[in-house]
Amino acid sequence: MRPRIIVFGLIAIAIAFLIALGVLDTLLVDYLWYGTLGFSEVFTTTVGAEVGIFGIAWVITFILTAGSGLLAIKWSRERLRVVRRADEMVEVNLPELIRALGDRVPWRLIVVVGSAVLALFAAQGEASSWDIYLKGIYSVPFGIIDPAYGRDVGFYVFTLPLLEELRDLFLMLIFLVGAVTVAVYWARGSIDFRESPPRVSSAAGSHLSVLLAFFFIQRAYSYWLSRFGLLLHTNGVVFGLRYVDRILWEPGFWLLVVLALIAAALCFSNVRSAGLRLPVTAFIIVFGPAIILNFIQPVIERLWVKPDELRIEKPYLVRNIQATRHAYKLDGFDVKPFAGKNNLTPAALEEDSPTVKNIRLWDPRPLIDTYRQLQEIRLYYNFQDVDIDRYWINGKYTEVMLSAREMNIDALPDNAQTWVNQHLKFTHGAGLAMSPVNEKDSEGLPIFFVKDIPAVSDVGLNITQPGIYFGQARDNYAVVDSATPEFDYPRGADNVFNYYNGSGGVPIHGLLRRLLFSIYYKDINLLVTENIVPKSKIMIRRNIIDRIKYLAPFLSVDSDPYVVIHDGHLVWIVDAYTTSDHYPYSQRSDIGINYIRNSVKVVIDAYTGATTYFVADPDDAIIKTWERIFPTLFRPLSDMPADLHAHIRYPEDFFLIQADIYRTYHMTDPQVFYNREDLWGFPRENYGGQTVQMQPYYVIMRLPGETNAEYILMLPMVPQGRDNMISWLAARCDGADYGHLFEYSFSKDKLYYGPYQLQARINQSPEISRQLSLWNQMGSKVLLGNLLVIPIQDALLYVEPLYIRAENGQLPELQRVIAAYSDRVVMGDTLDLTLASLFPNEIPTAPALAQAATVATKLAPAAGQPPPGAAKSGFDQAVNDYNRAMAALKDGNWQEFGNEMQKLGQALGSAPDATHP
């Protein structure tokens, strides 16, 4: 037996050593990494909290579990002596194995070791909740008082989760202590489960009575906390405290608290008698009333609440609406009427020319395929997604689409998938591709503002450091400044190699560091390679989302990072959120939260990995709390460079969550809210033959009543279950007005087409439908992009791009633009020609424009000379009018365009037809 014990002991020691080695290795790697980024204080605070909580939880769990187990050994030993002296029940009470071993079993050692192991699991669970402990200790008040209990909202968001964590820990301790105690008594014969009810010795009964008393104390504590939980639940009508909670459950929980304490006292008094009567009585007086209360609730709701529910629940509905609107920052919505008049004119288009010139014709979904075909250059580069931003281009505020060209190691050929290639040579991406949202070339392809490798720009966007070591690609460590030069970029048939020249990475030279990272990545190559030299550094956690979460796991991260050109470098901007599911009276969203703020903008340098957390919402109590915990992690938004600050935007994820809640909570009247009289929904659209939910979109436009065009995020809304538009929501992204939310509401007595209805009208247009069918029958595939709803003053303009690609091809081309206004739906080669076709009585239609251009061409067959028989003066006049019309069209001057086209028509009418002299 002893050799087996020694073997098992050695195996246990080896396993413990490997676990400890892994934990220590991770801690050391983290220490080096945090220090390189300048966040050593974040590391020490986090690890200090985890270690402290772990240690305290382990000590408490071990002392209680081991102490109770050792007492059980002592008291059950007395029982065994009695049994043996009486020479009875030995065969009945002791399991065969225990009976065979007798007193040779090391009971104390088993209990101590077992308790130490169990305490590890309990302590680890508590240490993983370090953020709950720190928030509870360093909490900052919200400054909003709950009307039910008179407590600050911060109590529910910060303190209550900590109290609930302690409640769960209390219950777990009782369970562990009870399990160990019962196991000892059973193993030593003081409890016999073979009888019904189980036979229990007096010592064991007294011991278990004490544990049962503490269980009822825990129940009393839990019932006391449940009072506050009444503000965090729902019955489908009200979220938070409701009428039945006030009259039944508030006094009911106090009653259960008192009854649980009485039950605990009964269990303590049972220590002497060690019988079953008092514990059974204790269970009955606690859980019996709890069951009765659950039966009483539906009776009250059915007989008292339901007949007059609105009147009775109205005060609680008001609290629910107010709290929810504040928790999701909906109380800042500026509600304005939108006339939606059918008064769109060329003059209105001219006045809103910045809006018209920035109408997005390129949809990110097909554009990513186009980028990949035209700008990936080599097979190992990849565009992850297409982002939308704005830049000042040639003095004009211009909306652009761009995508970072990242390294895709997985695309290397199989024979090139070597360790050196994966970690030392192919280490980074190169530059980006950028194009305006509304321009195409003669073949329907985007016109690039930034393209190729090295980056080329015709509009002055210079990229002096295009290397992308940190991005959205999968995480893959890279060793830089090694003996092997890195692949920098392709140049024709050759490759250009270079060495890293930045501050990123953790120094890896030296046997201990190489061993450290070799263990961390389970990669022996880091230890044995000769490519690592004194100046070598290792870059880890290069996926920017993982990087942000590792540094600040208490933040929720936006799903759409976007790249920005800043001071010749490429940097990533990522939105991060503070959230909670404990905001009183606030409705929970589909993702389980009921409070959210876009409190942080994270900036990551794509070349160095330098990470900066800027506080974007300094009024948020949660971020204030984290600033108290980690004072060196966050910086004020005012510290962000001005040219970088100009690129922050209102995030789509946040806007969608707000819109989802707002579609119900725009109703502030309790009666309207209760009856759901004005419930909204998200619009639908067709894309790729499927019906999908329309997503918010960024656009540069002039909001109704405003002077200047600005960058906004907007989304139309429709009534629930219907497709007509009821309103549109907008979030401002620029300057001091950043974050200002608008609701432009439509009149309910008039029909405004929604995106899905407009697409149906497009499909029903005979000319458009015939053309689409023709294209689809010619080996091509027609793809309709985002249908954008563009407010122009008091009217709505609908624009949808049309792409064509080969049936089996991956290069979509922008070939047509469809526009709709009022009852008109037209299609043209370009946006300008399409808009011109919307006004047949004021501006010549696209066919008329083409015919005029054809006649003008016939009038000038050679070097601008009129053909024989053509009047020189009429010809010159027509050419001049045509040129001026085209210039006006390009500038968006619709009034001038119409005037010149009318003059062109008159000039052509006075000139002899060259084909009919």
Amino acid at position 495, single letter: N
Whether the Cβ atoms of residue 389 and residue 562 lie closer than 8 Å to each other: yes
Q: What tens digit of pLDDT does each residue of 644-688 get?
A: 999 999 999 999 999 999 999 999 999 999 999 999 999 999 887
| Residue carrying structure tokens 């059973």 | 186
Q: What tens digit of pLDDT does each residue of 780-798 get?
A: 888 898 899 999 888 899 9
Task: Taking the CA atoms of 238, 244, 247 and 251 in sequence, report the sign of the dihedral they define.
Answer: negative
d(CA 748, CA 680): 13
Q: Looking at the predicted structure, is the pLDDT value of residue 8 above 70?
A: no
Mean pLDDT of 40-50: 96
Percent above pLDDT 70 for the chain? 88
3-state helix, strand, coil in the chain (%, to 5): 50, 20, 30
Over its C-alpha atoms, the chain yields an Rg (Å, rounded) of 37
pLDDT value of residue 856: 47
Q: Looking at the predicted structure, is the pLDDT value of residue 850 above 90?
A: no
Residues whose CB falls within 8 Å of the CB of residue 426, separated by 6 or more in sequence, listed in order: 380, 407, 409, 412, 486, 487
pLDDT value of residue 893: 63
d(CA 809, CA 812): 8
pLDDT value of residue 98: 58
Using CA atoms, how far residue 26 sits from 187, 286, 545, in Å, is 40, 48, 20
d(CA 473, CA 459): 29
Token duo for residue 789 = 């709803």
Q: What tens digit of pLDDT does each residue of 728-773 get?
A: 999 999 989 999 999 999 988 888 899 999 989 988 888 898 888 8
pLDDT value of residue 199: 80
pLDDT value of residue 4: 66
Residues whose CB falls within 8 Å of the CB of residue 886, separated by 6 or more in sequence, listed in order: none
DSSP string, 490-504: EETTEEEEE---SS-
Whether the Cβ atoms of residue 582 and residue 160 lie closer than 8 Å to each other: yes
Burial class (CB in 10 A: 0-12, 13-18, 19+), 441: exposed
pLDDT band at 862 (very low <50, low <70, confident <90, very high): very low
Token duo for residue 767 = 């000319």
DSSP string, 387-424: EEEEEEETTEEEEEEEEEEEE-GGGS-GGG--HHIIII
φ/ψ of 796, rounded to 5, equals: -115, 130
d(CA 125, CA 185): 28
Using CA atoms, how far residue 761 sits from 783, 818, 824, in Å, is 16, 11, 9
d(CA 477, CA 423): 6
Of residues 576, 565, 706, the one with CA closest to residue 641: 565
pLDDT value of residue 304: 92
d(CA 384, CA 364): 11
Q: Looking at the predicted structure, is the pLDDT value of residue 829 above 50?
A: yes
d(CA 503, CA 607): 9
Q: Looking at the predicted structure, is the pLDDT value of residue 899 above 50?
A: yes
Highest mean pLDDT among 188-192, 704-708, 716-720, 835-839: 716-720
Of residues 501, 492, 480, the one with CA closest to residue 407: 480
pLDDT band at 16 (very low <50, low <70, confident <90, very high): confident
Q: What tens digit of pLDDT does each residue of 93-139 get?
A: 445 555 455 556 688 888 999 999 999 999 999 999 999 999 999 99
pLDDT band at 848 (very low <50, low <70, confident <90, very high): very low
- When mean pLDDT is compared across 345-359, 454-468, 858-872, the lowest value belongs to 858-872
Q: Looking at the predicted structure, is the pLDDT value of residue 847 above 60?
A: no
Q: What tens digit of pLDDT does each residue of 462-512 get?
A: 999 999 999 999 999 999 999 999 999 988 888 999 999 999 999 999 999
Whether the Cβ atoms of residue 792 and residue 349 lie closer than 8 Å to each other: yes
Whether the Cβ atoms of residue 732 and residue 738 lie closer than 8 Å to each other: yes
- When mean pLDDT is compared across 331-335, 582-586, 645-649, the lowest value belongs to 331-335
Token duo for residue 763 = 């499909």
pLDDT value of residue 100: 52
pLDDT value of residue 96: 52
Burial class (CB in 10 A: 0-12, 13-18, 19+), 819: buried
Strands 506-507 and 569-580 turn out to be unpaired
pLDDT band at 699 (very low <50, low <70, confident <90, very high): very high
Whether the Cβ atoms of residue 860 and residue 879 lie closer than 8 Å to each other: yes
pLDDT band at 82 (very low <50, low <70, confident <90, very high): very low
For 253, what's the count of Cα atoms within 13 Å in the CB-facing half-sphere?
Answer: 16
Residue 131 burial (CB count, 10 A): 16
Q: Looking at the predicted structure, is the pLDDT value of residue 555 above 70?
A: yes
Pick the more confident residue, 688 or 377: 377
Q: Looking at the predicted structure, is the pLDDT value of residue 800 above 70?
A: yes
pLDDT value of residue 343: 77
Task: Taking the CA atoms of 274, 276, 282 and 287 in sequence, report the sign of the dihedral they define.
Answer: positive
pLDDT band at 81 (very low <50, low <70, confident <90, very high): very low
Token duo for residue 311 = 């009147």
Of residues 226, 232, 231, the one with CA closest to residue 252: 226
Which neighbouring-strand residues pair with 405? 383
d(CA 542, CA 37): 13
- Size of the chain in residues: 917
pLDDT band at 846 (very low <50, low <70, confident <90, very high): very low
pLDDT value of residue 190: 83
Mean pLDDT of 592-615: 97
d(CA 217, CA 210): 11
pLDDT value of residue 197: 73
d(CA 81, CA 86): 8
pLDDT value of residue 845: 43
Three-state DSSP state, 336: strand
pLDDT value of residue 506: 97
Strands 788-792 and 432-436 turn out to be unpaired
Token duo for residue 245 = 């909670």
Pick the more confident residue, 143 or 689: 143
Q: N- to C-terminal Cα distance for the chain?
A: 121
Which neighbouring-strand residues pair with 445? none
Q: Looking at the predicted structure, is the pLDDT value of residue 543 above 90?
A: yes
For 125, what's the count of Cα atoms within 13 Å in the CB-facing half-sphere?
Answer: 12
DSSP string, 823-841: TEEEEESSHHHHHHHT-TT
Whether the Cβ atoms of residue 819 and residue 835 lie closer than 8 Å to each other: yes
pLDDT value of residue 689: 79
Whether the Cβ atoms of residue 659 and residue 682 lie closer than 8 Å to each other: yes
Give Dmax (Cα) for the chain: 139
pLDDT band at 864 (very low <50, low <70, confident <90, very high): very low
CA 209 to chain CA mean position, Å: 49
Mean pLDDT of 226-232: 96
Q: Looking at the predicted structure, is the pLDDT value of residue 913 above 50?
A: no
Three-state DSSP state, 475: coil
- When mean pLDDT is compared across 659-668, 758-767, 819-828, 907-916, the lowest value belongs to 907-916
Three-state DSSP state, 47: helix
Token duo for residue 689 = 């033959």
Using CA atoms, how far residue 243 sits from 306, 315, 470, 502, 670, in Å, is 11, 9, 54, 63, 15
Burial class (CB in 10 A: 0-12, 13-18, 19+), 597: buried
Q: How many helices (H) and strands (E) does the chain have?
A: 30, 34
